[in-house]
């Protein structure tokens, strides 16, 4: 099965994510051994991208949810726990004890 994003075929998972987001992952995650100056420049670029593309966090969330659904759907299985009152616990009714 081919992974096609915006008309491009992604050769790897990383490339798929980068195509879906429109930015390289290193911009957000950093690179091993980067200097403080490189980190500051990367963070400035990230801030500029977020300012120019306010919908980017929504796209990131959507890509993450789609990846979870595809590769770990059990994480989306949510079961509500039954609620019950603790035995012997009294309900507070306000007021002052006599």
Per residue of the chain (98 residues), give pLDDT as tens: 455 555 667 778 788 778 777 788 888 888 899 999 999 999 999 889 888 888 888 888 887 888 788 888 787 777 777 877 655 566 656 666 65
Contact indicator for 42, 24 with CB cutoff of 8 Å: no
65 token code pair: 């949810």
What pTM was estimated for this model as a whole? 0.49
What is the rounded CA–CA span in Å between residue 2 and residue 55? 26
What is the rounded CA–CA span in Å between residue 87 and residue 90? 9
Residue 43 C-alpha from the chain's centroid:
18
Angle, alpha carbons 62-5-44 (nearest 5°): 65
């Amino acid at each position: 099965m081919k992974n096609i994003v915006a008309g491009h075929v992604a050769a790897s998972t990383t490339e798929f994510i980068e195509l879906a987001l429109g930015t390289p992952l290193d911009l957000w995650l950093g690179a091993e051994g980067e200097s403080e100056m490189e980190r500051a420049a990367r963070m400035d670029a990230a801030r500029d991208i977020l300012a120019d593309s306010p919908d980017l966090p929504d796209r990131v969330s959507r890509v993450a949810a789609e990846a979870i659904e595809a590769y770990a759907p059990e994480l989306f299985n949510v079961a509500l726990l039954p609620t019950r009152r603790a035995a012997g616990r009294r309900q507070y009714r306000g007021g002052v004890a006599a």
